[in-house]
């Protein structure tokens, strides 16, 4: 049987941009998750989401996986980037665009 940690690890490794959030990209269920979706949509890049509200194991597991207490959590190229505050900051500085381009090119 696969553990939550193994499932999370698989999702993070299989998807260039992976977002663990409340809701999904079409219907975010919280403001912070919505912010992350808006930023990624603005960049026009492909990304996958997992709704932590629909899966308690993942909801708890992802906090342990990243050692980060809050949702949403964004992973790019297998690396934990952070939540909405970090995404906003990196987007405003132009750093996020570069990271995303590098990830998608690899």
Domains defined along the chain, listed by start: 4-105 (3.40.30.10)
- Look at residues 68, 94, 93, 92 and name the one whose alpha carbon lies nearest to residue 79: 68
Residue-wise pLDDT tens digits, 51-95: 999 999 999 999 999 999 999 999 999 999 999 999 999 999 999
Does position 2 have pLDDT exceeding 90, yes or no?
Answer: no
With 90 as the cut, is the pLDDT of residue 23 above it? Answer: yes
Tell me how far CA of residue 99 lies from CA of 22, 47, 57, 90, 91, in angstroms: 24, 14, 29, 9, 10
List the one residue out of 8, 79, 90, 6 whose CA is nearest residue 43. 90
What one-character DSSP code corresponds to residue 77?
T
Whether pLDDT at 25 is above 90: yes
pTM recorded for the entire structure: 0.95
Report whether pLDDT(1) > 80.
Answer: no
pLDDT: which is higher, 2 or 101 = 101
């Amino acid at each position: 049987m696969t553990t939550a940690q193994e499932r999370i690890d698989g999702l993070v490794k299989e998807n260039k941009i992976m977002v663990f959030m409340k809701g999904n990209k079409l219907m975010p269920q919280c403001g912070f998750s919505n912010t992350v979706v808006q930023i990624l949509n603005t960049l026009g890049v492909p990304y996958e989401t997992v709704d932590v509200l629909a899966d308690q194991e993942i909801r708890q597991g992802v906090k342990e996986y990243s050692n980060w207490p809050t949702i949403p959590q964004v992973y790019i190229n297998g690396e934990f980037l952070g939540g909405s505050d970090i995404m906003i900051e990196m987007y405003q500085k132009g750093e996020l665009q570069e990271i995303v381009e590098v990830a998608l090119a690899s």
